[in-house]
Every structure is written in structure tokens, then in C-alpha cells.
Structure 1
Amino acid sequence: MSGKIYVVGLGPGGRSHMTIKALQALEESEVIVGYKTYIEFIEDLVKNKEVESSGMKKELDRCRLALEKALEGKRVSLISSGDAGVYGMAGIMLEVVKEAGADVEVEVIPGISAVNAAASVLGAPVMHDFAVISLSDLLTSWEVIEKRLECAAQGDFIIALYNPKSHGRTQQIVKAQEVMRKYKSAQTPVGIVRNAQREGQEIQITTLDKMLEYDIDMLSVVIIGNSTTYIHEGKIITPRGYRL
């Protein structure tokens, strides 16, 4: 008899930002599968379980292993940071099950995404329509990413940038700023949050023209405001439109 796969969003990583449902799924699971760094977030919760961890770029392997364990009749938690359905493992897991033609139940457990975690410490920057765009071109061509940046900036969306910069990928954030400057004021508020709602959290509030003066890496989320966004007493605020 087939087991079940929970695809669990852990949120930022701290216990206080995990949902009760995520904790329940981990408790009910016999097997925990995940990226080794994310497994470290929950080590104390999975001490007496079968734990299968692996490194970066092993997403398909983890999904196939989760399916294999579920087909043995086990309950499995496949974990993601943030929300499993936002650049996470949910889509991959569902595709792997589909390709295998397997009769296995998959339940996606939502979590707090990095944009929500970052926004919460900046104030209220995403109170209106916003777009989340990853600058990583590992799975998406830069041509497509740049087009998305152009469209979102032209539409005056608040824009959250994921995976903005790495050691080997340094120019994408520069090009992103160039695109933003075509449509947004140089004084548009920008928030840069590293390790949002995690240990070692760092926050910078600046403007579009000065954003590259600050350290940005793969642990950072960059939130760029729209034409109404402003800074007040150290908080970024985007008005929703209420008459005060």
C-alpha cells in the first residue's frame, strides 16, 4: 500500500515561523527528505526518524527518493525553506509523481516565503500589487528574466528579487537595477534583507540609485517599491489606497 508525501514549507527556518500544520506533518512522517542545510533547521524534531539529506542541485534525486519511500508505504516529509510552492519542491514533486504514473497522495504544506519574511522586517513594502522575480538563470534564460523585469517595472509593480547575486553571478543585479531605473525614480525606496527572520538577520533601507552600494548575496531578498512607496521612521510603506 502506498504511503503519503507531505511537501513541507518550513518558512524562514526559525521554529516560531513554522505553521502548526508543518509541525504536524513532520511529526506524522517516518522519513524526512531534504537539502542538508534545511535539515539542520529541524534536527531536534527529526531525531528518531529516517533522515535522507543531500546537497545543492539534487532536487530531482530528493523527489525520486521521496516517491520511492512513499511507494514502500511510508509517510514522507519532503522539506523546502520558505513556501514549498514558491521556487520550492512542490512542483518538482508533483511532476515526478506524474511522470512515474504513481498512485501516491501528495499534500503541499504552505510556509512563509522569503518575500513575506523580508517584508515583515522592512515595514509594509508589499501592500499593493507585487512581482517576485528570481535573478538565477540556472533554469530560466536571462532573456526571459530580463523581459519579466521590464514588464514588472513598466507596470509599476513592487518587485522582490530572489537569488540576486552569487560569487559566480554578479552582473544580473546590476542589469536589474538598470532596467528598474528606466521606469522607476532613482529615489524609489529599496529594502535589502539578508537572512530574513533567521539568525544573523541584516537589514538595509536605501534607494534604487544607491542599492548596489550595499552587500547583496544569495541569502538576500531585495524589495523595490512602486511609485507611491515611501520611507517613514525607518520603515518602508506602500499605501494600499485608503483615504486617511
Structure 2
Amino acid sequence: NQVALICSGDAGIYGLASLMYELGAKHPETELLVIPGITAASSGAAVLGAPLNHDFCVISLSDLMTPWEKIEKRLQAAAVGDFAMAIYNPSSHRRKDYLQRACDILLETIEGKRPCGYVENIGREGTRAVTCTLRELRDREVNMFTTVFIGNSETEILGDKLITRRGYQAEKGEKAE
């Protein structure tokens, strides 16, 4: 039989590909083929502009499979490393304050005026993109259909777009015009 398992986004990024490989190990005669999709980090970044245009990381705030203490360490490391970030699962009915908690952790290292943004309902009806600062983001209400973007030290809000410069001018000490 041929069977297709379809999930949203990319099956290998917070998706079902790893589970299928784990289950597939018990059935070596079964062929598994993962076809890449577009994850919310990529599709949401395109809606916002280019916030992940340099080194970045993706962090989920869901503590269903990862202890919150580990999530905290990852947020701290990303802040110290000056990574742009895509944040998945920023809130849920049970975890209403997790984005606020994450912002508080980031604000220990990152300035409050750091450019950020978020996109709700990426690729769905009602897609909405918002740019703001890290301090403003702390008090925003978002849901599970939202991907949050935290800029790095080179990120700017240009008009209504969130842009992380790749470094062409930055490496020369020049500002983009």
C-alpha cells in the first residue's frame, strides 16, 4: 500500500518526520519518503519582510515535550549569541503567559527597543503581520497560530517590514540607505 501522511508546515521541523522514522525502524521493509514543506519560520518571515536574513534559531515555547528549564536556557543562549529568532507555540489556553515569560528572559540580555514582529494565521485567511519592539511584544496577546520573530542587533523596522541586514553594509560599518 502507498500511504501519505500530510501535516502543516515542514514535516521535519516540529513535524511528524522524526516520529515516522522512529516507527519505521520497526518495519524495515517500509520505504519512507519525506517531502519538504514550508515551515512557519520561512513563510512568516516572508510576510514580515526578511527578519531571518542572517544567522537565526527556531525555539518552541511548548513545554509538552521539552521542560521549561531547557527552553529558558535556549532563549538565554540565543540572546547572548545575538541570533534572530523565530518563536513557535508562543501561547495556548494553558500557557497564556509563556510569551511574556520568554520576553522577560530575553530582556535580561536584549534591549527593550529591539525590533520584533509576529504573524498570525500564516498562509490562511486573516493573515496579520505586526512589528513592534521587544518591550511592546511582552504585553501582546498571541495564539497558537502565531509565529513570533525577535530581531538581532542588526534588525530594523523599515516602514512596516522587519529586516535583518545580512551584513553587506554592516561589515563595512555603513548604514543601509
1:142 and 1:168 map into 2 onto residues whose CA distance is 14
Aligned to 2:6: 79
Aligned to 2:132: 206
1:215 and 1:116 map into 2 onto residues whose CA distance is 22
SS of equivalent to 1:109: coil
1:140 to 66, 76, 79: 66
Cα shift readout 1:119-162 (whole Å, capped 9, x = no counterpart):
00101110011010000000111111111111111100001110
2:109 to 166, 183, 195: 183
Cα shift readout 1:19-45 (whole Å, capped 9, x = no counterpart):
xxxxxxxxxxxxxxxxxxxxxxxxxxx
- Write out aligned runs for 1:71-220 (5 A): 74-98=1-25, 100-220=26-146
Q: Alpha-carbon deviation of 1:81?
A: 0.5
1:227 and 1:208 map into 2 onto residues whose CA distance is 12
2:109 and 2:139 map into 1 onto residues whose CA distance is 20
Q: Alpha-carbon deviation of 1:170?
A: 1.7
Question: Which of 1 and 2 has greater Rg?
Answer: 1
Runs of 4+ in 1 over 3 A off after TM superposition: none
1:209 and 1:215 map into 2 onto residues whose CA distance is 13
Contact kept in structure 1, 2:100 and 2:139, CA below 8 Å? no
2:140 and 2:75 map into 1 onto residues whose CA distance is 21
Q: Alpha-carbon deviation of 1:169?
A: 0.7
Q: Which has the higher contact order (CA 8 A, sep 6+)?
A: 2
Q: Which amino acid aligns with 1:220?
A: T
- Count of aligned pairs between the two proteins: 170
2:12 and 2:142 map into 1 onto residues whose CA distance is 24
TM-score (norm 1): 0.68
Q: Which amino acid aligns with 1:192?
A: Y
Q: Alpha-carbon deviation of 1:215?
A: 2.5
Q: Alpha-carbon deviation of 1:213?
A: 3.3
Cα shift readout 1:73-109 (whole Å, capped 9, x = no counterpart):
x1111111000000001000000011x2431110100
Q: Structure 1 unaligned segments of length 5 or more: list them.
A: 1-73
TM-score (norm 2): 0.92
Q: Structure 2 unaligned segments of length 5 or more: list them.
A: 170-175
**Between the two proteins, what is the percent identity of the paired residues?**
47
Q: Which amino acid aligns with 2:41?
A: V
1:235 and 1:172 map into 2 onto residues whose CA distance is 25
Higher strand share: 1
Contact kept in structure 1, 2:87 and 2:149, CA below 8 Å? yes
Cα shift readout 1:197-228 (whole Å, capped 9, x = no counterpart):
21111111101000133331100000000011
1:133 and 1:192 map into 2 onto residues whose CA distance is 14
Range moving further from structure 2, 196-205 or 224-233: 196-205
Contact kept in structure 1, 2:9 and 2:38, CA below 8 Å? yes
1:235 and 1:148 map into 2 onto residues whose CA distance is 26
